[in-house]
Amino acid sequence: MIGWPALLLHGDPCVLDRWLWVRRHLWSGPVRTLDAGFGNGAFSMYAARIGNEVVALSFSAQECDAARARAARLGVKGISFRMLDLRELKSHGAELGNFDQIMCLETIEHLVDDERAVADLASLLRPGGRLLLTTPSADHRALYGERVSESEDGGHMRWGYTPAR
């Protein structure tokens, strides 16, 4: 199962809003797409299904394995799931190449140096490319299991952002 029904099973009520937003903004066809911090891989699979060549990055080997298996079960091709920590993105820029569009959905709030992460992502965009970035508002209600961490261990480094920051 792919599309919004599968995303509802994720347990995050904001996923539907994110899904609808991505569907409106993600280019379809033979464009090169990076999914930075792909989570369960659903958005990467959607991009591949609409014709994108997708490189999907996660710091978690377990997420990579699960997403590969999920894509195989669904018959989704055109995705390279790679284990790569976004904090090391700059040193892997040459091997990754450039992208027409980059998705970074609900990820930067998990990084201490969020500004560097956004700059590193932007450096991978081709001229005229697009960065699709979502992140929580600083005043959002915590979801079950969400926490602010003292270290970059997968939890939030901050709850989210205000219009000023």
- DSSP-derived pairing of the beta strands 79-83 and 53-58: parallel
pLDDT given at position 109:
80
Categorize the per-residue pLDDT at 159 as very low, low, confident or very high, splitting at 50, 70 and 90: low
Q: Cα(first)–Cα(last) distance of the chain, in Å?
A: 37
Six-digit token string for 111:
């990084």
Distance, in Å, from the CA atom of 135 to the CA atom of 115, rounded to the nearest integer, reads: 13
Q: Residues 61-102: pLDDT tens digits?
A: 999 999 999 999 999 999 999 999 999 999 999 999 999 999
Nearest one of 102, 111, 87 to 54, comparing CA atoms = 102
Q: Is the pLDDT of residue 58 over 50?
A: yes
- DSSP-derived pairing of the beta strands 99-105 and 125-134: parallel
pLDDT given at position 8:
45
Q: Residues 113-151: pLDDT tens digits?
A: 889 999 999 999 999 999 999 887 677 776 667 777 777
Nearest one of 67, 58, 57 to 96, comparing CA atoms = 57
